Amino acid sequence: MHSPDRYNTLKLILWSVIMALIGSVITKALDNRMEREEVLATGHGWDKVKLVLEQIEQNYVDSIDYEKVTEDILPVILNELDPHSVYLPPKSMEEANAELEGNFDGIGVTFNVPEDTAIIISVIAGGPSERAGLMSGDRIIAVDGRNVAGVRINQDSLVGMLKGVSGTSVHLDIMRDSEMVEFDVTRDKIPVKSIDVAYMIDDTTGYMKLSKFTRTSYAEFSSAVPGLLEAGMKRLIFDLRDNTGGYLDQALLLSNEFLPSGSLIVYMEGKHRPRQNFYADGSGKCQDIRLSVLVNENSASSSEIFAGAMQDNDRAEIYGRRTYGKGMVQEPIFFTDNSGIRLTVARFYTATGRCIQKPYTPGDGLGYVYDIYERYEHGEMTNADSIVRNDSLKYVTPKGKVVYGGGGIIPDVFVPVDTAGVTDLLVRINRQALAVKYSAEVADRYRSELRGVQTLDELNALLDDMNLEAGFLSYLSRGGVTVDRRQWAVSGEIVLVQLRALVGRYSPLDDRAFYPIIAAIDNVIQAAVTLQ
């Protein structure tokens, strides 16, 4: 997003050019008034822009970098429309498409940088790194001869060095158990999963977290559900928190899994787009599964379509906090230089007629983004009564439940931001990522044992033997952090759960360890589990 200063600068430049050309424009107009009047008499709003650009091209004193001017001015134009119409240069377009398509070119590792050296947390099964022999706990020292350890390299820069076109090779110097080992890894297509985890919370309750609506989301869901059903799932907790959306068709397919035939999932409508309804066809395999959906202020777009469809059809309980409020339909338009725009062409409406999109002022991108901070400021994140409900935007579901429009999906069960156990000590530990850093130390110490873990029970038994509390307190002391014992008594349990989850990620279980462990201190999950 460009800054307001940049927009003002561009506008000033254009205005200066226009003023400089006034003399020549007036002269030309006097010489050929009829032609000028014909151009402006059409009444089309773009004619003046066309006229200015023509005058610049024909009369400007210096040569013009047309490509640069175009790249600079397109974002300004689209910014004046709505917050979601955007111009994407070739590189941004490529990255956005790769994320949504569910794959990218790379080496297939996840890593963390707890201090100043990247430590591989896990390698993607069947991916290039696993085939080359990389392992969890390996430290990346150099990439293609360039040192990346101990120099505090930007994490995004390191990701960029590891990514590359499929078929190309990258040379890695790796530190493994105090020994330097070299690897040549051939990059390949790396699948990006959108379902982070799917597991059974108890004998009848399944849990699934969807991080993004990518091209593969429905396929991943379809692969995960049978295992949960075989394990006895009668109820599914479907976690869409922090899911910013993605492909509409994936939201429709997932909604169809839960709704009976003829149920209206969503409809969209715009000035140049007549109303289009989307219905369930009754083929879904989860129609008899009780459903609970978790959302928060970062759940947007396709997440809101799914949550709204379930709420308006009385199909699920919605837990958490009001969603983001992105209900615009973006249509991609591609250019021959691999750039493109995503242009808003319609709005989404839930089955009862609620518009998902929150209010906005055209051109005020900063105010739109800061809406989330306004919610915090006015207490909406901690108090359900602070959520604004407009009686003129009141709707009723088939079973008589009252729901409200005005932007976003308001949950049926409000769960506030969790402030229990928060102390200055906890804030410092999290701000400085001290638990993350210590988990890397622990993983080094128990590397062989962690690599042998196959089940969550085995992992928990190993974690119980690590004496994480004493070890972490000693680590804090060595780092010069004074521990207030009263604050530790309040926050210690939270930190220890975080440590167990973080260390668990260094095992082959990866997220299948992290999420089940961290759920113990997740107040939204606990609310959904408790309110049966």
Query: What are the residues facing 43 on neighbouring strands?
Result: none
Catalytic residue list contains 301: yes
- List the pLDDT tens digit at each of the 532 positions of the chain: 444 454 444 444 444 444 444 444 334 443 444 444 444 445 566 788 888 888 988 999 999 898 888 888 888 888 889 988 988 888 777 776 666 665 678 898 888 887 788 999 888 777 888 888 888 889 999 999 999 988 877 777 888 899 888 899 999 999 988 889 899 999 998 877 899 999 999 999 999 999 999 999 999 999 999 999 999 999 999 999 999 998 999 999 999 999 999 999 999 999 999 999 999 999 999 999 999 999 999 999 999 999 999 999 999 999 999 999 999 998 888 888 888 888 999 999 999 999 999 988 887 777 787 888 889 899 999 999 999 898 899 999 999 999 999 999 999 999 999 999 999 999 999 989 899 999 989 999 999 999 999 999 999 999 999 999 999 999 999 999 999 999 999 999 999 999 999 999 999 999 999 999 999 999 999 999 998 6
Q: What's the pLDDT at 5? A: 55
Q: What's the pLDDT at 30? A: 39
Sort strands 413-414 and 402-404 into parallel, antiparallel or unpaired.
unpaired
Catalytic residue list contains 448: no
C-alpha distances in angstroms, 353 versus 264, 309, 409, 522, 527? 10, 11, 12, 33, 29
Read out DSSP for 160-198?
HHH---TT-EEEEEEEETTEEEEEEEE-EEEE--SEEEE
Tokens (6 digits) for 390 = 């407009």
Measure the CA–CA gap between 433 and 483, rounded to whole angstroms.
16
Beta strands in 107-165 (DSSP E): 109-112, 118-123, 139-143, 146-147
Measure the CA–CA gap between 71 and 392, rounded to whole angstroms.
43
Q: What's the pLDDT at 16? A: 47
User: Other CB atoms closer than 10 Å to residue 496's CB: what's the count?
Assistant: 16
Q: What's the pLDDT at 337? A: 85
CATH superfamily of 195-327+348-357+386-414: 2-enoyl-CoA Hydratase; Chain A, domain 1 (3.90.226.10)
Measure the CA–CA gap between 442 and 347, rounded to whole angstroms.
50
Catalytic residue among 326, 507, 511, 522: 326
Contact (Cβ atoms closer than 8 angstroms) between residue 107 and residue 139? no
Contacts 24+ apart (CB under 8 A), 382-390: 382/416, 382/417, 382/419, 383/416, 384/414, 384/416, 387/322, 387/414
So where are the chain's domains? Answer: 4-64, 103-191, 195-327+348-357+386-414, 424-530
Catalytic residue among 301, 303, 439, 491: 301
Q: What's the pLDDT at 70? A: 85
CATH superfamily of 103-191: PDZ domain (2.30.42.10)
Distance from the Cα of residue 174 to its chain's centroid: 31
Catalytic residue among 82, 173, 188, 312: 312
Catalytic residue list contains 312: yes
Beta strands in 261-362 (DSSP E): 264-270, 273-279, 290-295, 316-320, 328-334, 340-349
Does the model's pTM come out above 0.85? no
